[in-house]
Amino acid sequence: MLKSEEVRRQVAQRLRELLPKAKGWQESADTKIGGQIADLLAKFQLAGQEHTLVVEVSSLGQPRQIRAAVTRLNEIRRELPGAHPVAAAIYIGPQSARILKSNNLGFVDLSGNCYLAFENVLIEKEGKRNVRPSTRPLRSLFAPCATRVVRVLLIEPGRAWRLEELGKAAAVSLGHSHNVVKRLEELAWAVRNDDQRIRLSKPADLLEAWCESYTYRANEITSYLAPERVTRKFMGEVARVAAGEGRRYAFTLNAGAALLVPSLRLPAVHCYLEGDPGPVAQALGLRPAAETDGTLHFLGPYDPGVLHGAFEKGGLKVVCLPQLYADLMHYERRGSEQAEHLRREAMGY
C-alpha cells in the first residue's frame, strides 16, 4: 500500500492535472484549521478568482474512512467557509462517492474518479476501477465462505441474528461467522442491539462492496446450443431434468430477471447447476457451443452458498435477490440496468 505522504503527493499532482488553467498554484501540508489538521491546502487563481481546496487524504477510501473524513471536512468548512473541501484516496468506490456527494463534498482518487463542483467548475468522472485492487481491505470479507454469511444477511437485511443461528444458516463455523461480523462492525455496516443480536445497518453499502469484488464469471460456465428457441417453457424443461437428476439448480442473469419481470426479453438462459452438466445437457438434446454462440449456459457454483435462499417463481427456482443483483451487475447485456431495476422494485435497499 502506498504511504500517506506518497498518496498526498500524487493527489496534489492529480488536482493540478484536473485544473490545468489554474495559476499561482500554492500547496501546504498539515495546515491547522480550527481544531482540525488539513492534509493538503491548495490555493490558486482560476478565471480571475481566488480558490482554496482543503483536502483530507486517506490511504483507504472505504465508507468507514470516508464518513470520518466527512466529519472532519464539515468542521473545516465551518472554520473556513470560503474553501472547497475535497476527500482523496487511492480509490473511492460508488458508495463512498455517494456519501461525499450527499454532503456536498468533492473527491478525487488515484484511479481516475473525481467530483469537483465549485463556482463555474464541474468535473465529474466515475466508474473507474481500482488501479490497486490489492489495497482493498475487503478481500477476505468476500472470500467464498465469508460471502455465505454476507448473502444470508442481505437476504433478510432487517433481521436481528444470534451469532450461532447466523453461522448455522450460512453453513460456516461459529468462528468464521464471528470474524465476518467483526469486520462488518468495523466498517459500520452491522450493529448489535441490546440483546447482542446482529443486524445490518447499511445493507446497500455491503451489497455494492460485494459487487465491486465479484463477477458471475467466478463460476465455471459451460455453454450449449438448444434445439429450440429459449422460452419459459424451455426453462421448465431444464428445471424438470435437473430435478430428475437430483441436482440443485437456480436460474440467474436474464433468465432469473425474466421470471420476476415477464416483460424482459430472453436472449439466453443462464442456470446454476451443481455437478457435471453433461448428463443434463444430453437429456435435453443440447450441443456444446462456444459461449458467444450458446443459448443455454450452465454455471457451476464457485461455492455452494450461491444457491442459498433460492426461491420459486412460476414453479421455477431463481437465485436469491442479492445473488441475482450481484450476477447482473457485470453482465454484458444490459445487466447493470436490469440490476438497478431489480433493486429499486424488489429489494428495498
Query: Using the 8-state DSSP alphabet, how is residue 200 labeled?
Result: E
**Backbone phi, then psi, for 273, in 5-degree steps?**
-145, 125
Specify whether 37 is located in the same domain as 154.
Answer: no
For the question of whether the overall pTM of this predicted structure is more than 0.95, the answer is no
Rounded Cα distance between 328 and 195, Å, is 37
The range of the structural domain enclosing residue 293 comes to: 216-339
Given this model, what pLDDT does residue 136 score? 47
Specify whether 113 is located in the same domain as 28.
Answer: yes
The CA radius of gyration of the chain, in Å to the nearest whole number, is 24
Report how many domains make up the chain.
3
Specify whether 111 is located in the same domain as 29.
Answer: yes
CA distances from 13 to 20, 41, 90, 99 (A): 11, 13, 13, 24
Asked if 84 and 46 count as a contact pair (C-beta separation under 8 A), the reply is no
Percentage helix, strand, coil, to 5, in the chain?
40, 25, 35
**Among 86, 117, 133, where does a domain finish?**
133
10: enclosing H helix or E strand = helix 4-18
Given this model, what pLDDT does residue 127 score? 85
Asked if 63 and 187 count as a contact pair (C-beta separation under 8 A), the reply is yes
| Run means of pLDDT, 10 residues per run, the chain, 349 residues | 73 94 93 90 93 89 84 92 93 91 95 93 89 61 95 97 97 95 88 93 88 92 91 95 96 95 86 97 95 95 97 96 95 86 87
Given this model, what pLDDT does residue 133 score? 61
Rounded Cα distance between 333 and 336, Å, is 8
Specify whether 171 is located in the same domain as 225.
Answer: no
Asked if 113 and 125 count as a contact pair (C-beta separation under 8 A), the reply is yes
Specify whether 220 is located in the same domain as 207.
Answer: no
Asked if 189 and 200 count as a contact pair (C-beta separation under 8 A), the reply is yes
Q: Is 290 inside any structural domain?
A: yes
Rounded Cα distance between 278 and 85, Å, is 58
User: In this structure, what CATH number is given to the domain that contains residue 174?
Assistant: 1.10.10.10
Specify whether 327 is located in the same domain as 259.
Answer: yes
According to DSSP, the β-strands at 49-57 and 84-89 are parallel
- Secondary structure class of 137 (helix, strand, coil): coil
Cα 258 to the center of its chain, rounded Å = 22
Could you identify the residue written with the cell 487511492? Answer: 90
Q: Is 82 inside any structural domain?
A: yes
Rounded Cα distance between 38 and 57, Å, is 9
Given this model, what pLDDT does residue 2 score? 54
Given this model, what pLDDT does residue 1 score? 45
Asked if 249 and 316 count as a contact pair (C-beta separation under 8 A), the reply is no
Dig out the grid coordinates for 11 from the structure: 493527489
288: enclosing H helix or E strand = strand 287-288
Specify whether 266 is located in the same domain as 329.
Answer: yes
Q: Is 180 inside any structural domain?
A: yes
Q: ∠ CA(334), CA(336), CA(338), 5° rounding? A: 70
Listed residue (172, 164, 166) closest to 200, CA to CA: 166
**Among 102, 133, 164, where does a domain finish?**
133
